[in-house]
Every structure is written in structure tokens, then in C-alpha cells.
Amino acid sequence: MEWLLNNWLGLSVPIIVFIASIVVSIWLRKRLFNYLERVLSQIRWEEKKTFLDKTKTPFLQWCIILGAYISIQLSPLPLSLKIFFGKILSSFFILSLTWIIIILLEKILHIYLKKMDLFPSNTTTIIINGLKVAFLVVAILIMLDLWGMPITPFIFILFIIIFFAVFTARDEIINIFSGFELARNSLIKTGNYLKLESGEEGYIIEITKTNMHIKTLDGKILLIPNSRMLRSVVTIISKPLKQATQPFRFYTRLHLKELTGLKATNIYELVDILKKVDDAVIYYHTHNFIEEFQYLTPQPANDFALWVSDALGDQVLGEKLSNIDTFEFSTIGALRERIIDVIQDEVAKRKDINNAPYGREFHFIRSISAIVPTSYVTHDLREFIEMLKLVSLDTLYFHIFESRLRLHKGVNDFSIWINDCLGEKALADEIAVLDPYTYTLEGLRSMIISIIEKHLEREYAVG
């Protein structure tokens, strides 16, 4: 009590100054922020409300900290305590100021970097977090210096941490900088279709700070490092592929053979039976025969030509039957008539007819098929290529041969879909004129894929 009585004047002055500072701070904040609102209302700055909202309360805190600091310096406290409390108040001010800078930096940079669209979203987050850490480190260094602590060891330790972090994450850092370069060039964007020189290809679904996420047409997700993207030769398809008005579903068929019980020992019997059997028998000995021997190039023309040449030893007639271009006929009936006409014209010129040796008669077989849908469905040409690489030879045969002749479509299913549902008439015609009888089925598959890929590169490739 005696000390308070002796020092009441010295204590009352700091208290009055502190109370006055609070009153002045409230008045000053009101006047200052009203003025700022009027000034900022005259300019087009979308973040002005964020700035005012985030700084109004801290400004009052800073003014109170300043009032408290002045009050302490005017107090009768010992010099050592004045210095100690001054450092505490200064530390609070530094932390408060740094915190507000970090909050404003995060909100404002996030908005502007997103608008500028210079970097992917994940890369933008990395940049903002890096700046926040940098401001926090600077604040810590200032506070250490304020309290008289040596900052050299701290800087050395920070350097060691950064060195080991860079060393252990060197690939990650390279990919991040590669991501910056990719974003700066802005050639590769989400939604593009690209093909790397190493063979990977697909649609870009996401670009992160380190990797590019590519979805292949069979549904797999590939993670390609950004650094590898910069080193690779990349074909980019940025123009959206045409979407088919109707998707294309691949079908296959289950094939069974049925013996008819009919057989021929010479050309006369062959012609007589050919006139009576149904189309499924003719189909089996022409088109199914080609499928069975699809690995041979050139392929045998039909079962009849092979039997006449080998079993009857009639090379002339066998050659004439081989020369019948099965592909030029749009119906089985027309093909049947052509085979009969060739045999009858040749028989009319002869007197003697050979019989086949015992056991080598021509047995007529009927083709029985069940058409089954597969799980492969495509909506554009790129998907079509990928699905075509996966389907079985039976599926390929069905859409190329059976649909054209046995189902009386006159052209293969692929050309019909490409023309009718994609509007690519030139491409459809290019595939339609292929003579499938001059290729193996695998060769035919490769040729169709090659034609479509060249079309895509010609129409859509940009880099």
C-alpha cells in the first residue's frame, strides 16, 4: 500500500494512456475503415470486402498493442521489465501481422491464380503453401533476432532440412517444375487425347503438381510423371472427337457345323446338289472356309475349288472356281449361281468326267450360327480402335464377312456405322473398298486400325 501511495501518479498515467489508446483505437478504426470503404467502392476490386473484413479486427488489436507498449514505457517499472514486456508485445504484433498476411495471401492469390489459369489447381496450392511457409519463416527469424537469440544456427538447421528435403524429393521437385513448364506452355490440357512415343495413349483426366493422369479407353488409369512428358515426343489431339449418334456394339457368333448327309463324287453330282441345298451350306463352303484358312495368304477361294483341284485332279476347273471373287457378290444366291455357271460351262466342253477316289467325296456341311453381343461398346473412333484391338477373330469375321453377305447388308458393319453414325463418309468408303479376301484376319484388323489412325492424325492431331 505504501508503494502504491508513493507511485500512484506513475501508475495512473500509464493506465489512463492505455484506456485512452483503446478509445482512440476504436474511433480511429471506425474513421479509417469508413474512409477505406468509400475509396475502395470507387474501384473495381472484387477482393476489397475480404481485405476489409480480415483487417478490421487485427487493426484494433495492433492499436491496443501499441497503447500497451506506450503505457509500459511510461510506467515506473524497472527498465529490464519494460524491455521484457516490450518484446512480448512486439512478438504478439509480429505473429498477428504474419497471420493476417498469410490469410490474405491465401485467399487473394487463390482467386487470382485460378482466374489467370496459369497452373493446375494442385500446383496453385503448392505455390500458395510455399509462400505461406516463407512468410512464417521470416517472422520466426525476426522474433529470434528480437529476443537476442542467434539466428545463424537456425538458418543452418533450416538449410540442412531443405537440402535433405530436396535430395529425397528430387524426382518430385523435377516433376513439379516440369508441371510449371507444361502449364506455362498450355499445350496439354485436361480433356486432350494424347499418344506418347512409348505407346501409352488416352484422355487426360487430371494434371497434378507431379503427374498427369491418363485414362485409357479400356478404363485403366496411367500416371505419367510430368518430367517424362517434357522429354517425350507426344501427339496431342485437342480437337474433340466426333461422338456417334448411336454407339457401336461388337457382336460375335458361336459357330456349329452340321453334316447334311449329302455328298458328291463328281462334277455332275456337285452341280445337282448345289442347286438344292440352302444358303447356309453355300455359306459354309465359301465364307466359313475362308475363315478356317484365314492364316493363309493368298487364301484359297472356296471349298469347291480345293476339292475339284485335289480330289478330281481338274486343275483347269479348279483354277476357274478359284478366280470367283466372293467379295463381289452381295447375296449367297448370286454366288451360288456364279459357281454353278462356271462348272456347267466347263462341263459342256468335255466328254469324260472324273470321279473322286473312294473316301474323298465332297461332303456338304451346313453352317449354324448363334449371334451373341459382346461387352465392347464404342462411341467414337478412338474407342473403336482400342476395342478393335481386343475383340476376337470371330467378332471381326462376323462384322466384315457375315454382316455383308449372309445378313445381306452389302457392306461391312464398320463402314455402315462410321458413315451413318459418325458422318465420316470418306473413311467409311476407304474401309469398304478393302478386299478382305487378300488379307488374313489379323492383317485385316491391322489394316483397318492403320486407316483409322491415319485419319485421326490427319483430322485431329495438333502437336
What is the band of 364 on the pLDDT scale with cuts at 50, 70, 90?
A: very high
Residue 97 predicted with pLDDT over 70: yes
Q: State the average pLDDT over residues 277-291.
A: 79
pTM: 0.46
Which are the contacts of 164, defined by CB distance < 8 A and separation ≥ 6? none
The whole-number pLDDT of residue 159 equals 67
More confident residue, 236 or 341: 341
What is the band of 184 on the pLDDT scale with cuts at 50, 70, 90?
A: low
More confident residue, 130 or 33: 33
What is the band of 462 on the pLDDT scale with cuts at 50, 70, 90?
A: very low
- Which grid cell is 444? 485385316
Q: How far from the centroid of its chain's Cα atoms is residue 277's Cα?
A: 53
The whole-number pLDDT of residue 52 equals 80
Residue 289 predicted with pLDDT over 60: no
The whole-number pLDDT of residue 164 equals 64
Q: State the average pLDDT over residues 267-283.
A: 90
More confident residue, 93 or 117: 93
Q: State the average pLDDT over residues 114-120.
A: 58
Lowest mean pLDDT among 233-237, 248-252, 328-332, 351-355: 233-237
Residue 397 predicted with pLDDT over 70: yes
The string of pLDDT tens digits covering residues 401-460 is 777 665 566 688 999 999 999 999 999 999 988 877 677 788 889 999 999 988 887 776
